[in-house]
Chain A
Amino acid sequence: MLLRLLETIGEYFVFLAKVFSRPEKWRIFFSKLLFELDAMGVGSLLIIAIVSITMGSVITIQTALQIESSWVPAWTVGFTVRTSVVMELCPTIISLLLVGNLGSRITAEIGSMRVTEQIDALEVMGINPASYLVLPKIIASLIVNPVLIIISIFFALFGGYITVIIVGCVSSYDFIDGLTSFFRMYDVYYALTKTFVFAFVISSIASFYGYRIEGGALELGKASTKGIVVASFLILMLNLIITQIML
């Protein structure tokens, strides 16, 4: 079991070494990168908007309920919502969502290319398939995910604001006062650092499991599930480590 785990880790790093080699043609690399940026970014926007707005709404209602006391100032709701959303909920929950959305797409795409021998075809042509297929996906993910998380933060805070107006648990003035109080830029750096690391985990793990498929459609499904489980587990563990280091 342990030996198998070490072997897989070794294979992962060998795979990364292949991925991070110089692209054969930069023009083709950039055109693939643009394609991936569009597919990853635009393709994930709707789901991220929906999840972020509902997440912001729920956290606002829960926070308002928990700290309903005359001893606690009303702006605390907005402050707590902002802090939770920026530091934890958006970077981690949205990254976990992206594991399912982007990660499974990457595994399925690369895995089906492996199963239908398209990767072998690239290799026979003398092209490094790992670099050609995976590098644009990783770079695109490193660019797109932080942008998506920032958009997600705005949507979540907007969701909270709308909820405050509709439900009336605190006044909108107090909520906005809380959102803008004691703002630390370091919280955003911390969130973006996590997002950046998670983006690498999502794209590289998903690609790795797709790339090493042996067999047919059944293995493709298994690889997709395995990729999601491993990437989710790594995100949770790395979240803990980064939090311990940075806070």
Chain B
Amino acid sequence: MIKVKNISKYFGMHKVLKNVSTTFQDGKVNLIIGRSGSGKTVLMKSLIGLWTPEEGKIEYSGHDIGEMSTVERQKLRAEMGMVFQGSALFDSMTIEENVRFPLDMLTTQNKDEKAERVDFCLARVDLPRAHRLYPAELSGGMKKRAAIARAIACQPRYLFCDEPNSGLDPKTSLLIDQLLAEITREFGITTIINTHDLNSVITIGEHITFIYQGEIAWEGNKDEVLFSENELLNDFIYAQPLTRKIRDKH
């Protein structure tokens, strides 16, 4: 379980996160939603330790990440997988090498074990024949799937995804959502997804945190999100004409 306790993050004089407190539940798909610039990415980068909040603390199973030694932090990071917005696959490596990379760097597995794991991960994300391809040769959706394969290679406890649907068509976007939900259930991972994709919100959001201007404005799940009384959340959810029409019809 990841507990965020009263964290605040400043950029210069600007307070981007304001006393944020929440809990990300184990074995579930946790979504962080909000408008662009609301602080979602800052919260996620603070969670994974890329940025350090000036106030408050973040606890992984009761251990404050801010008080961890370098070795402890490295151990924790070995339990994390991350899918970046732009996939962040290494350009100079093939997809096979990309997926094998964390295994090479962080495990003591032999060549055959690594090859087996790479094959498994690529098959799991439905890229069984992409081994020899380079990231530049893949479509946006395939890159995302390859990034997911790399993120799960070391069997992480925590999977972080920053806008996994950005730049994808609705159908591919849905496939990525389903894949993330399946992986979460299958491997018992705690998944945290940063998104403003409404399809993701209503299909896979087992725990949803809505951020507005750096503050948590609402928390709930996919069954509650469409019927909330929270005006800020409704402004966000029903911002699109299509969703407004559906709401008005019902």
A residues touching B (Cβ–Cβ < 8 Å)? 24-25, 28, 112-113, 116-118, 120-121, 123-127
Contact = CB atoms under 8 A, between A and B. Distances in A.
A40 B76 CA distance: 36
A126 B82 contact: no
Question: Top 9 A-B pairs ranked by shortest CB distance?
Answer: A126-B77, A117-B88, A126-B74, A121-B88, A124-B82, A117-B84, A126-B78, A118-B88, A125-B102
A112 B88 CA distance: 11
Contacts of A28: 104-105
Interface of B: 45, 48, 50, 73-78, 80, 82, 84-86, 88-91, 101-102, 104-106, 160
A117 B73 CA distance: 20
Contact of B104 (A25, A117, A120, A121): A25
A212 B41 CA distance: 19
Contacts, number: 53
A125 B88 contact: no
A125 B158 CA distance: 12
A126 B72 CA distance: 10
A117 B85 contact: yes
A125 B84 contact: no
Contacts of B73: 126
B105 A124 contact: no
Nearest to A116: B86
Given A28-B104, A116-B88, 4 more contacts: A120-B50, A120-B88, A121-B90, A126-B76
Contact of A120 (B84, B90, B91): B84
Contacts of A24: 105
A123 B78 contact: no
20 contacts: A25-B105, A113-B90, A117-B85, A117-B88, A118-B88, A120-B45, A120-B50, A120-B82, A120-B88, A121-B82, A123-B77, A124-B50, A124-B77, A124-B82, A125-B78, A125-B80, A126-B75, A126-B77, A127-B105, A127-B106
B84 to A, nearest CB: 5
A33 B80 CA distance: 28
A125 B83 CA distance: 11
Nearest to B82: A124
Nearest to A24: B105
B106 A123 contact: no
A93 to B, nearest CB: 31
Contacts of A113: 90-91
Nearest to A121: B88
B77 A121 contact: no
A121 B106 CA distance: 14
Contacts of B84: 117, 120-121
A125 B104 CA distance: 11
Contacts of B88: 116-118, 120-121
Contacts of B89: 118
A118 B143 CA distance: 13
Contacts of B77: 123-126
A112 B77 CA distance: 23
Nearest to A120: B50
Contacts of B90: 113, 118, 121
A127 B77 CA distance: 9
B105 A118 contact: no
B104 A118 contact: no
Nearest to B79: A126
Contacts of B50: 120, 123-124
B61 to A, nearest CB: 17
Contacts of A126: 73-78, 80, 106
A24, A28, A120, most chain B CB atoms within 10 A: A120
Contacts of B45: 120
B106 A125 contact: yes
A186 to B, nearest CB: 42
Given A124-B77, A125-B77, A125-B78, A118 B106 contact: no
A65 to B, nearest CB: 50
